[in-house]
Amino acid sequence: MDTWFVKQRKELLRIIEKFAKEDGTHDTQVPGLRLIRASQSAEPVYSVYEPSLCVVAQGSKVVMLGQEMYQYDPNSFITASVHLPITGQVMEASRETPYLSVQILFDMNQVLGVIQAAGDSIRAGNETCRSLKVSRIDDTLLDAVLRFVKLIETPQDIPVLAPYIMQEIIYRVLQKENNASLKQIAVIGSHAQRIAGVVEKLNRDFAQTLRVDELAAEARMSISSLYDYFKEVTGMSPIQFQKQIRLQEARRLLFSGSIDAAEAAYQVGYESPSHFSREYSRMFGQPPVRDVRRLRNTLIEEKVSGG
């Protein structure tokens, strides 16, 4: 491996270790930048990926989208172009060599701005593809990411330099021929851009009854086209997507301890608590009360052991 590349990765590692001393996700003063640390490989974590770029400095992680698996490590990066319900699991981590990564959040206006500024050097087609993509990282992208992360150490530079380095990062990702996932969402009127609107609506109104004919009308598509393009972008059907969002939100509500299982079911849109319990068990492996009790016990054990 190139000596310069190894040096850049070690520098990225140093900064993450310096500013993320405890396990978890840490926001920073740099807009859109988060640092992530995990000192042990753990059970799968269910969450919603925001449009972002994730780069690993140490360790590896697996993300499940529907039935598809994506693994990334220090030699690769992952991009998500819409909000996606995923299952993530850190695969390589220990107290001595923790999993360390950065997440850089962006919005489609930033992506569209870069495409317009780039002109003919970046061609945005109307193709439709999966909105989660793992690609091999190269020197130019790693260099831009490192400079973005290093702004943590010089906060006075953030207002001036952060927007320009963010543009460069997006530009480097867009330059990759095999990474059309960002381009497709930014193309006004494209199938993927219309599906992104449907995804946004499902994330926002997950507790409401799903009416596919209304979604199709809003997306200016037939019902069959909506299903086909939605699955192409997200890896699942609209119903499966809504179900994952609902169950993840119910789990969050239950873990907060403020409501019981029946109330959580109603709040996320289920009319039948028994139906909710069956689908919850199918997704998380145990009924709601038992699952939340196990999660809390695991958290207590990690705190006691210093994890």
pLDDT confidence of residue 57 = 96
222: three-class secondary structure by DSSP: coil
Q: Does residue 304 register a pLDDT over 50?
A: no
Equal fold, 3-185 vs 241-304: no
Written out in words, the top-level CATH class of the domain with range 241-304 is mainly alpha
Tell me the torsion sign for CA atoms 36, 41, 42, 48.
positive
CATH architecture of 186-237: Orthogonal Bundle (1.10)
Question: What's at 154, amino acid-wise?
Answer: T
**Spatial contact of 45 and 18, defined as CB atoms under 8 Å apart:** no
Please state the rounded mean pLDDT for residues 148-154: 98
CA distances from 168 to 6, 97, 147, 148, 175 (A): 21, 30, 10, 10, 10
What tokens appear for 278 in the block?
């069956």
Topology classification of domain 3-185: Jelly Rolls (2.60.120)
Q: Does residue 305 register a pLDDT over 60?
A: no
Residue 307 CA to residue 305 CA, distance in Å, equals 6
Residue 99 CA to residue 265 CA, distance in Å, equals 34
Residue 99 CA to residue 276 CA, distance in Å, equals 34
Q: Does residue 141 register a pLDDT over 90?
A: yes
How many Cα neighbours within 13 Å face the side chain of 139?
7
pLDDT confidence of residue 202 = 96
* Structural domain spans, the chain: 3-185, 186-237, 241-304
